[in-house]
Structure 1
């Protein structure tokens, strides 16, 4: 787990107001392969945003706390820390530039910062001072402008606003320096009830009512869940400037209690950041998203969630193929020092590493609905396996050649020295050749090139055998014909052994391929189920949000409630369509995979049949070899 002892700038605001992503921050995110919970804080400058983020990081200092009217945080700063309650998860804290800074020249700059915070976070904290009154809500024009700066699909495609609730973060309103009693119409209320009361819509359609309702409708419509925390003054007014250095005893006990509740709620309730379609975001993916969104906004275009997902899918799937192949290659490379290996051993290791590579790929890939990237990985692995098999065969061939060369050295010296060029020499030669073959077969029992090297050796010695036999005047003409026939039989039998060994190796390859295919199909099916489950969760989250809003609206806004009901029906329809589309896509992918697997195995079987035909077409001798088995 990467440890950061202090925040770094993720998105900088340059002197001309242009936003840029800092490469050093991207390098940090690139190393985080864990899922991330991303909490961003936004709000007017000089409202104590940074103090809350330091508390979430478990530190008293870190994010800069300004003590003057000048905003200290420019752009968006990032702090990655281990998540306190979620194992193997990183908590990413984003402290944004204070909104409403009078020194900014670009009137849209605040909306860009707010939009980036929404796009990158899984929980967004709105920090303000005083109360949640109409003045405070009307200042949230950034919320009403979100759809101008964020699109679900391409800018030309019309998408219902209700779609945003599926992808936007949870919303927390932190009210600082709160002095009022939580009481509505004479009844004590909770913080959440206070927020809902402040977001209550007015009846009517006049411009004034519409202006009043618009930011409230946006908050209710866009964010799937809402939570409120009211913080009292933390300390004496004269100590406010030194809040980060104060001793705990000098800070209000009530303030600390609310701060602890705030932190525990975020730790326990804030969800892992998800992309559209439910894919979990890692630190690496978050970095890609930040770069994509900032470059899009800086170019004057509108960030599109769908385009971002497509871009991320390409990057992640290509990376998944690379990672999977690296897992396979690094494992197979370790075998080279042990070459030559038995066929069963190298096949077993190939099978094990192939599955590991596929699992590695599956953990990172997403939206590979047509199986293009999985197929690419399989083809690359098969290509590498063929190379490793060839290297192993060369090592086996070299070993066998070395063995037979050592065993046949005395015989070769005898040939050169004329030892066999005498009466009876042919019998001595055959006996020595038989001993060489027996010793060789004993020493190379498990070598995959044993039969082939022996066949080559016997072929090379065939002409010498004939010469020695012709020179041996002790043999009759009839004996020479018998020996010649036996020599051809030996060569044919060895050739058949070689072909049978190749056939055995091919059958093993078919068996391995069938097993690997079945395992890959199992993983693809499981992946499909997982993705459909995530999509369903995302849709249910949006549905729950809509149902809550519908219930609230039914009391006073029948027309809006009816519209909300239609939106819910539309979400149900789109959910059903998405599930059907995903199911069809994966079904086609599985069918294509099965077809490719069948074609591959059929090709291997065809090769097998050709080898069998070749063996059957060779003449078979009923006589056995003279003594060479």
Structure 2
């Protein structure tokens, strides 16, 4: 994409709508995506950071007035600078708290969409991280009201929709503080920007009154985002220059600002993970398009977006599409690579195996959450059918060419038979010589395919009575000689029939081997994908566990005993789930 386009637009009645053009762009992206969203109050320089990540000076609208430029959510897809097999999707969101808009609910949904779609969420603010700044980030505390892991948890699913489950699926969190003028010091010691953020998120002892209100946003940030990072940026340039930020190069900006901006970009490039859904399921661009549409549809209908509902919807759409694309790929590649008829079944089989392997790979890459392998079984059935059709076509083409060759090579013989040339003394020997000559010419003919023996056997069987008639009419042969010749005729017929049957047996045996090989290929590729997903799932759980351990330690240090006790319960539950995942991997 040379320029950003609108992904989610505002409707006149204050709702949201997904833009068709953006969906079409995402639909072409079959790579995994790293999705970075930026949110924050309007006129805080969010768009500049996104342009920087895109490696461009201009792109997302910057603006130099008090008016908010970005409306809805805008998208820019660019090649990932460090991951060749990934696309970097940058989402620039409408500024929160726009006085002209004055719609708190709309801001919450914009914030929720950024959380739902991204693998890294950047929150951009001005000045310092103080109580006022945290109060402006109150949208975080409302996430559990506007996002569900399961829309209707079943019995036994009580753990869903807890802060731990949100932590598992939410993006990493990066707070960028702009126009920062303070020294990073605490209690007389120099601290890092990350320590500055964590200190600002300290909770006060629980109880009624102001502390509960103060703790709410801080607690939500700590409970929902396992990975937190902070960058502080000095003012980039003078006020006069900043009005033309989209025209300034690095030499025109403050050196410390440029240095921090480069550090920020390097961190995003190296640390932002592929967008995944619960269970370590990686998302491609086209899947992201479906997710965006699913979430917006839920919001438009007045429902709370559910991650599991989105997974179910994505599974149906994506898996059906993956089957179709894999079958289409197989069909087009086989048509390109197979020249009918093949000389042997093995030749067709080798091409089939190679193309089928690629077709299965197309499905595996495009499939999503095919838990019971329902769609993969559909694929196997359809590929078996496609292959069966090609096998039939191959045979028919071979028969057709073989019959033409027989007609051409045995035609002169049949003409002589029809005028009685061989119905005379010694005629049978002449007939046999002519017949053998025609047979040898036929067998030397190239390009007749794997059914040439069958066609010859059928022809000779059909014409066997002619040979017997000529033999019976040959008065030069004694009765004993005629008997010997008759036996020879039968042996020749049986031998030719056996040749055909042997060829047919080889074909059937090869088809059985093809089925076995096909099944093994399906299983092998499925197992590789399952192992990759299990690995990512365990990493997801371990990441959450590590964050929970740290949070528990902090809670204990802050004297939050009840919070620490609840976190221990979540830690124990996650440990049990991790053990189950390890066992299920072995079982699979």
TM-score range normalised by the length of the shorter chain: over 0.9
- Equivalent residue for 1:115? 112
- Residue 31 of structure 1 aligns with which residue? 28
After superposition, the C-alpha distances for 1:163-184 in whole angstroms (9 at most, x for unaligned) are 1111101111111122222222
Give the conservation status (yes or no) of the 8 Å contact 1:341–1:392: no
Deviation (angstroms), 1:382: 1.5
The answer to whether the Cα contact below 8 Å between 1:340 and 1:395 also exists between their aligned partners in 2 is no
Partner of residue 48, structure 1? 45
Deviations 1:359-407 (A, max 9, x none): 2222222322322222222221111111111121122222222222222
Q: For the Cα contact (< 8 Å) 1:342–1:446, is it kept in 2?
A: no
Other-structure match for 1:538: 540
Deviations 1:273-307 (A, max 9, x none): 11111122111111111111111111111111111
Assess if the C-alpha contact under 8 Å between 1:155 and 1:302 holds in 2.
Answer: no
Instruction: Sort the Cα spacing of 1:335 and 1:82 in 2 relative to 1 into closer, same or farther, 3 A.
Output: closer
Which residue does 1:100 correspond to in 2?
Answer: 97
Displacement of 1:205 after TM fit? 0.9
2:145 and 2:45 mapped to 1: Cα distance?
28
1:378-527 equivalence runs, <5 A:
378-443=380-445, 447-527=449-529
The DSSP-based 3-state class of the residue aligned with 2:244 is helix
Could you tell me whether the CA contact under 8 Å between 1:155 and 1:304 is conserved in 2?
Answer: no
Q: Does 1:133 align with 2:147?
A: no
Contact 1:426/1:468 (<8 A) preserved: yes
**Hey, what does 2:566 align to over in structure 1?**
563
Q: What RMSD in Å do the two structures reach over aligned CA positions?
A: 2.1
Paired residue secondary structure (2:52):
helix
TM-score (norm. length: structure 2): 0.94
- Tell me the alpha carbon deviations over residues 19-58 of structure 1, each in whole angstroms, 9 at most, x when there is no partner: 0010101111111122111111101111111111111111
Give, in angstroms, the shift of residue 444 of structure 1. 6.3
Q: Does residue 14 of the first structure (1) align with residue 16 of the second (2)?
A: no
Deviation per CA, 1:471-518, whole angstroms, max 9, x where unpaired? 334445554444444333332332232222211221222233333333
Kept after mapping to 1: 8 A contact 2:395/2:451: yes
User: How big is the shift at 1:59?
Assistant: 1.5
Unaligned runs of 5+ in 1: 588-629
Counterpart-to-counterpart distance in 1, 2:311 and 2:343: 45
Which of 553, 564, 579 lines up with 1:576 in the alignment? 579
For 2:70, which of 66, 73, 79 is the aligned residue?
Answer: 73
1:144-167 Cα offsets, whole Å, 9 max, x none, are: 110111111124554222111111
| Cα 1:178/1:83, change in 2 over 3 Å | same
Q: Distance in 1 between matches of 2:126 and 2:446?
A: 84
With over 3 angstroms needed to count, the CA separation of the structure-2 counterparts of 1:248 and 1:503, relative to structure 1, is closer
Higher deviation after alignment, 114-123 or 225-234? 225-234
Q: Which runs of 5+ in 2 are unaligned?
A: none
Give distance in 2, aligned partners of 1:246 and 1:525.
52
1:436 and 1:237 map into 2 onto residues whose CA distance is 98
Alignment correspondent of 2:236: 234
Q: What corresponds to 1:610 in structure 2?
A: none
How many residue pairs get aligned? The number is 582
**Cα separation, 2, equivalents of 1:351 and 1:418:** 53
Equivalent in the alignment of 1:598: none
Q: 1:263 aligns with which of 254, 262, 265?
A: 265
* C-alpha distance in 2 between matches for 1:259 and 1:299: 40
Asked if structure 2 preserves the Cα contact closer than 8 Å seen for 1:122 and 1:168, the reply is yes
**Deviating more after overlay: 435-444 vs 192-201:** 435-444
Distance 1:363 1:70 in 2: 44
Q: 2:278: which partner in 1?
A: 276
Q: Distance in 2 between matches of 1:207 and 1:399?
A: 92
CA distance in 2 between partners of 1:352 and 1:88 (Å): 23
The SS at the match of 2:277 is coil
Instruction: Tell me, yes or no, if structure 1 residue 288 matches structure 2 residue 290.
Output: yes
Kindly indicate whether the alpha-carbon contact (under 8 Å) linking 2:32 and 2:282 is maintained by their aligned counterparts in 1. Answer: yes
- Mean Cα deviation higher: 40-49 or 327-336: 327-336
Structure 2 counterpart SS, 1:145: helix
| TM superposition score normalised by structure 1 | 0.88
